[in-house]
Amino acid sequence: MPEPISVSKLRPIVAVVTGGTAGIGRACANALLAAGAAGVLLNGRNAERANLARTELQSTYPRAQIAISLGDAAQPAVAERIMADAIAAFGRIDLLVNSTGGNDLPRLLHQTPLEAIPGILERCLFAQLLCSRAALTHMREAKRGAIINIASDAAKLPTPGESLIGAAMAGIVMFTRGLAIEAKHDGIRANVVTPSLTGGTEHYEKIMADPFAGKLFSKAAQMAKLGLVDKDEIAELVVFLASPAAAKITGQAISITGGISAV
């Protein structure tokens, strides 16, 4: 894991990380705690994985407060409960990091069954919108906060097999920009990070093992002349965006791709 960036040291904030029990979300939780966050609530759907994540993080950061809220954040009642659990645990929500999103593999549109499309959009898009809305109530009361959504460069760059995924990711980007314009009046910032192929995740292994997606992204990896981006590097960008150093940054969609794209 890269050394934490000194300029991104955090005040003792408390954060909610949806999709925070594995992959990029887990890396974000770890990086936030390493940078000085006082507490993190981890959301995930698997109780065993969530408890393991909490145990390991608590062992590494014994002074931090680490809570869990289980459930599918793409459901309205669950999104609301996650934020209620955070308020019960910490009394406030300073930061929301939405690292949910489906692990759907790229598929050409004509090979995607019609009945599969709503589920793809729900998994990729809904949790980010719903959790942002649920957190906004509490942040508006406090007149402060930051929301960081994790999307994908598929939002910006059309790619074979990612028509539906790209549509959902573009939705996250435009949603976040609109949210930034609305929420700035209450001292709330909103940004979105758009990685491409990301190493160190289960999804990376799943993509590379798939005949179609593996071929597609093997070519993409060759374009990452600055190096394949790792989940911990994405987490460091999230820490920076959450930090006082980024206090004037809002409404931005920031690519981190190692040179795969420049959009």
Dump pLDDT digits (tens) for 9-65.
Answer: 788 999 999 999 999 999 999 999 999 999 999 999 999 999 999 999 999 999 999
Return the bridge partners of 253, or none: 192
Confidence tier at 4 by pLDDT (50, 70, 90): very low
Tell whether the model's pLDDT for residue 125 goes beyond 70: yes
Dihedral pair phi/psi, residue 203, rounded to 5°: -65, -35
The residue ranking higher by pLDDT, 159 or 129, is 129
pLDDT of residue 205: 81
131-150 confidence digits (pLDDT tens): 999 999 999 999 999 999 99
177-195 confidence digits (pLDDT tens): 999 999 999 999 999 999 9
> Which residues have C-beta within 8 Å of that of residue 191, sequence separation ≥ 6?
146, 147, 148, 149, 176, 180, 241, 246, 249, 250, 251, 252, 253, 254
Tell whether the model's pLDDT for residue 154 goes beyond 50: yes
State how far the Cα of 75 lies from the Cα of 77, in Å rounded to an integer.
Answer: 6
pLDDT of residue 36: 95
Are 146 and 188 spatial neighbours (Cβ–Cβ below 8 Å)?
yes
Pairing of strands 253-256, 145-150: unpaired
Burial state string for 75-105 with b = 16 or more CB within 10 A and e = fewer than 16:
eeebbbbbbebbbebbebbbbbbbbbbbebb
Pairing of strands 188-195, 65-70: unpaired
Instruction: Say which CATH topology domain 9-201+230-255 has.
Output: Rossmann fold (3.40.50)
Tell whether the model's pLDDT for residue 242 goes beyond 90: yes
Dihedral pair phi/psi, residue 147, rounded to 5°: -125, 130
Summary mean pLDDT of the chain: 92
State how far the Cα of 254 lies from the Cα of 263, in Å rounded to an integer.
Answer: 9
User: Helix or strand or coil: residue 94?
Assistant: coil
> Which residues have C-beta within 8 Å of that of residue 117, sequence separation ≥ 6?
164
Mean pLDDT of 100-120: 91
Q: The whole model's pTM is what?
A: 0.92
Tell whether the model's pLDDT for residue 241 goes beyond 50: yes
Report residue 110 as tokens: 């004509």
User: Helix or strand or coil: residue 145?
Assistant: strand
Mean pLDDT of 104-126: 94
The residue ranking higher by pLDDT, 261 or 164, is 164
pLDDT of residue 8: 55
State how far the Cα of 231 lies from the Cα of 237, in Å rounded to an integer.
Answer: 10
Alpha helices in the chain (DSSP H): 23-34, 47-60, 76-90, 117-121, 127-142, 163-183, 202-209, 211-222, 231-242
State how far the Cα of 200 lies from the Cα of 198, in Å rounded to an integer.
Answer: 7
What length does the chain have? Answer: 263
200-226 confidence digits (pLDDT tens): 787 778 888 888 878 877 877 777 788
pLDDT of residue 5: 45
Confidence tier at 263 by pLDDT (50, 70, 90): low
At 253, which amino acid appears? Answer: A
pLDDT of residue 3: 52
Domain edges within the chain: 9-201+230-255
